[in-house]
């Protein structure tokens, strides 16, 4: 959202001008953390979430948590992410990275578990399944096997939760209502967008009841507006916020 405002710092101000009190962003690492901290202080916004340092995205990197042989890079990127977290006081989505054809499932999973054990000693984090249409090859791409949900359950740590992105959930499995009820106890953060174009939740699409179900499941935390506005002005896409029990 607010890409029309220009650079990242300008987007913070645009979010404030649109009425938001809290923000999240994927990758803030192009801006020094102290500059971001200053903007948060000036605007009065609360930062609630970022993704961990993904590495070189232009080269196709998207994190290292599940990549065998990249443990040192994972720890290096984690420390960079933590330096931002200390400055801005927020939670981090720990990026698993892309599956490697050089390694089998057991190697990827063992690497992920080992890296997460280290991570939860350093921070409070989330892991997120991402659908294979949006990001082909992403390791954490489902809810049904030993990945993601079972990893959170196996870690059994208050410092590791599930990031429940409703758009990815619909694209991966459907059955959204039942999965919301099932996984909310493991969930630390929710994001929303309409499937399948990933526009704002009020656009026509496959999901028209999400907020009611989240409320019924007992979720009362932040909900990230992780969508592409259907109009050139992001503020014009906020009609969905008129639903009961939602505040900016």
Which residues are known to be catalytic? 128, 226
DSSP letter, residue 135: S
Taking 3-state DSSP, the helix, strand and coil percentages for the chain, each rounded to the nearest 5, stand at 40, 15, 45
Q: What is the dihedral of CA 165, 61, 47, 207, to 10 degrees?
A: -20
Q: Are 140 and 147 in contact (CB under 8 A)?
A: yes
Rounded Cα–Cα distance for residues 191 and 201 (Å): 11
Tokens of 63: 């994190």
The dihedrals phi and psi of 47, each to the nearest 5 degrees, come to: -85, 125
CA atoms of 22 and 12, how far apart (whole Å): 10
Across-strand partners of 138?
98
Q: What is the DSSP string of 159-205?
A: TEEEEEEHHHHHHHT--HHHHHHHHGGGEEEEEE--TTT---TTSSS
Identify the CA nearest to 24 among candidates 42, 38, 40, 4.
40
Q: Alpha-carbon distance 192 to 170, whole Å?
A: 10
């Amino acid at each position: 959202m607010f890409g029309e405002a220009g650079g990242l710092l300008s987007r913070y101000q645009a979010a404030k001008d649109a009425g938001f009190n809290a923000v999240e962003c994927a990758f803030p690492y192009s801006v020094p953390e102290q500059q971001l901290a200053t903007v948060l202080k000036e605007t009065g916004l609360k930062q609630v979430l970022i993704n961990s340092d993904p590495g070189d995205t232009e080269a196709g990197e998207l994190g290292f948590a599940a990549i065998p042989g990249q443990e040192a890079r994972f720890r290096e990127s984690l420390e960079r992410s933590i330096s931002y977290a200390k400055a801005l006081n927020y939670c981090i989505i720990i990026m698993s990275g892309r599956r490697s054809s050089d390694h089998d499932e057991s190697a990827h999973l063992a690497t992920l578990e080992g890296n997460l054990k280290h991570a939860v000693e350093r921070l409070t984090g989330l892991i997120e399944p991402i659908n294979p249409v949006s990001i082909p090859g992403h390791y954490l791409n489902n809810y049904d096997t030993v990945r993601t949900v079972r990893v959170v359950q196996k870690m059994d740590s208050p410092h590791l939760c599930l990031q429940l992105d409703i758009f990815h959930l619909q694209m991966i499995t459907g059955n959204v209502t039942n999965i919301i009820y099932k996984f909310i106890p493991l969930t630390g953060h929710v994001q929303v967008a309409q499937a399948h174009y990933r526009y704002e939740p009020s656009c026509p699409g496959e999901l028209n009841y999400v907020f009611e179900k989240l409320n019924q499941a007992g979720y009362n935390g932040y909900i990230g507006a992780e969508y592409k506005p259907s109009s050139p002005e992001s503020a014009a896409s906020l009609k969905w916020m008129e639903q009961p029990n939602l505040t900016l």
